[in-house]
Amino acid sequence: MEILTEKKARITDIATRLFREKGYAATSMRDLAQAVGIEAASLYSHVKSKEEILSRICFSLADAFFEAQHHALQPDDAAPAALRKAVEAHVGVVAAHLSASGVFLHEWRHLSEPSLSRFRELRQQYENHWLMLLRRGKEEGVFHYEDEAIAVRHILSALNWIYDWYKPNGRYSVEQLSAHISKLIIQGIQ
Amino acid sequence: MEILTEKKARITDIATRLFREKGYAATSMRDLAQAVGIEAASLYSHVKSKEEILSRICFSLADAFFEAQHHALQPDDAAPAALRKAVEAHVGVVAAHLSASGVFLHEWRHLSEPSLSRFRELRQQYENHWLMLLRRGKEEGVFHYEDEAIAVRHILSALNWIYDWYKPNGRYSVEQLSAHISKLIIQGIQ
DNA sequence: CCTACCGATCGGTAGG
DNA sequence: CCTACCGATCGGTAGG
């Protein structure tokens, strides 16, 4: 985890919220500066460019997804337990970073090369982890689905959209949410 | 269905693709004009504003979702059959309008009032249709889920993300795709 | 459908 | 972290 100065962390946090609400392209550095409480030109003492902020948001969250999954899984888990843990880990990251998840999912295409390619590769790699999980369950005879690519997309779609509707102070805790979601998903393939 | 002149329809089609690829805010009227093959100022002989184009894309697709669902459902369908038909109708619309679906899902927030509120209401209304469907299945004793709001979001998430990965000329026809998806969804709540 | 153009705003820099 | 400012680009209009 990269260490940021307090001010830079604050700028990144506020930018995350603005990029999620208005979109990256429609958020100006002047919008961001006003929300932070300084002049637009002063932002450049803390960040190199607007894109540097976007890049940090996207790659930090990618890190978080990998790390959470890595910590959740044990090599000797049976496939259904592993899938449930992976779902809980993913939901946990999304729920803890709702705005960043929205930016991660939609604004990454405003990255320029080489960040853009690197981002796409990380995403592909993460999807492959899920694919392996599903395959393992199929080989164990406990998962049933006709097409693994569709099944993976189906699962990640359900997990990713959570950022768009989950209310952290609403009816359900993150634990309850991920329990509900993993039940819907796992029943779908069992 | 509103009738557009051939040129206006062409402008809307090209704008749909650009808005989906680059985002609404990052697509300039000059980008659009170049893709159409005229000067930027000439666009304004055909459309009132950039937002008018966005508005048309969003509300046309909303119409398509309502219409497809209305045509698919019969009042005397049992809940599982109705859910399957509703899934097929929704997937059919998304698959037939992949770029427009992306715009519909992500760019609507660039609408200004009163379009913005009207759009939100339509979306809420459509979600309510799905809620009713699920409730009916629960009352019939054939659907099982712990929270109806989560179940609806779960289903629509899986259906909506299709725009992001489905390849019309790939391995699966729309019919095969929606059959796979509806199986994953319906098994999840049965 | 074009040329010519408007005021506003953009990301970013110079220099302190 | 600020004032002052840059060239580029934005959505849109006038007038033909």
Q: What is the mean pLDDT of residues A117-127?
A: 98
Please provide residue B165's backbone torsions phi and psi, each rounded to the nearest 5 degrees. -135, -15
Range A59-83 average pLDDT: 97
- DSSP-assigned letters across all residues of B79-129: HHHHHHHHHHHHHHHHHHTHHHHHHHHHTGGG--TTHHHHHHHHHHHHHHH
8 Å CB contact of B110 and A145: no
Q: What is the pLDDT of residue A2?
A: 75
- Walk along chain B (190 residues) in steps of 10 and give the mean pLDDT of each run: 86 98 98 98 98 98 98 95 97 98 98 98 98 96 94 95 94 94 89
Distance in Å from D5's C1' to A130's CA comes to 52
Specify the pLDDT at position A190.
Answer: 81
Residue A103: how many CB atoms within 10 A of its CB? 25
pLDDT the model gives residue A187? 87
pLDDT at B1: 63
Nucleotides of D under 7 A from a protein CB: 1-5, 9-15
How far is B108 from B115, CA to CA, in rounded Å? Answer: 9
B4: left (phi over 0), alpha (psi -120 to 50) or beta: beta
- Which protein residues have any CB–strand C distance under 7 A? A 27-31, 40-41, 44, 49-51; B 7, 38-42, 45-46
Question: Smallest CA–CA separation between B42 and chain A, in Å?
Answer: 25
Q: Which of A61, A66, A94, A99 is nearest to A162 (CA)?
A: A94
Q: Is the pLDDT of residue A168 over 90?
A: yes
Q: What percent of chain A has pLDDT over 70?
A: 99
Q: What is the pLDDT of residue B173?
A: 95
Give the DSSP H or E segment for A105: helix A98-106
| Mean pLDDT computed over A27-40 | 98
